[in-house]
Structure 1
């Protein structure tokens, strides 16, 4: 995918996932649509409000969830919220540094999109309030939106802070890999998707290299 290019669409029985690349940092934004009600939720209004609003379309938007406080993940948030009237959600520990937050989230909370539900998973390290969102598809594998906490090839950037790396690695291991099956498909904040099964054999390597 390239910024401004066509969205990559995945159709699940109850939920449609549209992945778009936006902005100069090639951020991923994910539009989730409940196939029963048509309700829509956007993960990370990262950049290029016009592109995101075109993706949202006439069905409108109920919710925006921001995965963490770094500006490249919320550059278009104010414009999208103003245009759609959507509520804006983020973890309480990152909310003060995000321009528009109408309600805050905690670990274990549930965010609805129509008849579907997303579980909030707090992953401390990349930022204090980073989160992942988990959709447990009743008809198949789980789907996990990891922000900048997990990528193909490693956990997110800990900016040279050993304590932040240790926290992030621990949370990703215990809250994601230890809880979810290998066929869990995950969608990061930048770049390509992967599965937990593909990445699981490399956890030891990640721990040993420290990034």
Structure 2
């Protein structure tokens, strides 16, 4: 089946096979959070982006292949409800940006802008996107055989940037970072995977960025 990224809470995962990496997207309740399991083809090593909720379903998805790493995109609780249980059951390393580390229920290793996270022979680049939270991050996989793939947490969605609670300073920081660190750096074909809801591409969203800035959210 062609990957669309359309998933629903309680529904089946969506699986995307890249040349070197498998991306499996699962929606967990009650807030329709997306969790992403990445598996390196060469080594079988797996990493999870956002152990959001429903630990039993996430552990079933992980299966017998083990889990090396859990990366939390930001400190909001709906993105880490299952983190403690998943780490306890798998022994995975927990990673989060240093500026959001205090918001997690367990100790986690600190990430910073420009760091990389290995998934077997594949690599994710950490991009710091300030505004939704102080330590929000996106994770970039540059597929050597295809287009870039970007996991944006709650910083970028189809139709706009993440919630900044109508704070002009936070919104300005987020829209600046999203524009400079994502849209100005990456091509239109970059596929992005948000923390909730449907996927999109930077090319589909790029024409609306000036409108987002003008409206202030």
TM-score by length of 2: 0.97
Partner of residue 91, structure 1: 97
Aligned-residue offset at 1:102: 3.0
Range that drifts further, 95-104 or 61-70: 95-104
* 2:55 equivalent to 1:49: yes
Structure 2 unmatched ranges of 5 or more: 1-6
* Cα separation, 1, equivalents of 2:132 and 2:107: 20
* Cα separation, 2, equivalents of 1:177 and 1:47: 30
Aligned-residue offset at 1:2: 1.3
* Cα separation, 2, equivalents of 1:69 and 1:129: 8
Q: CA RMSD in A?
A: 0.5
* Cα separation, 1, equivalents of 2:8 and 2:190: 24
Q: How many residues align?
A: 211
Partner of residue 11, structure 2: 5
Partner of residue 116, structure 1: 122
Output one character per residue of 1:73-107: Cα deviation in whole Å (capped at 9) or x when no partner. Answer: 00000000000000000000000111123310000
* Residue pair 1:90, 1:101 contacting (<8 A) in 2 also: no
Q: 1:189 aligns with which of 192, 195, 199?
A: 195
* Cα separation, 2, equivalents of 1:80 and 1:5: 20
Partner of residue 175, structure 2: 169
Structure 1 unmatched ranges of 5 or more: none
Partner of residue 155, structure 2: 149
Q: 4+ residue stretches of structure 1 with deviation over 4 A?
A: none
For the residue of structure 1 that corresponds to 2:61, the secondary structure is helix
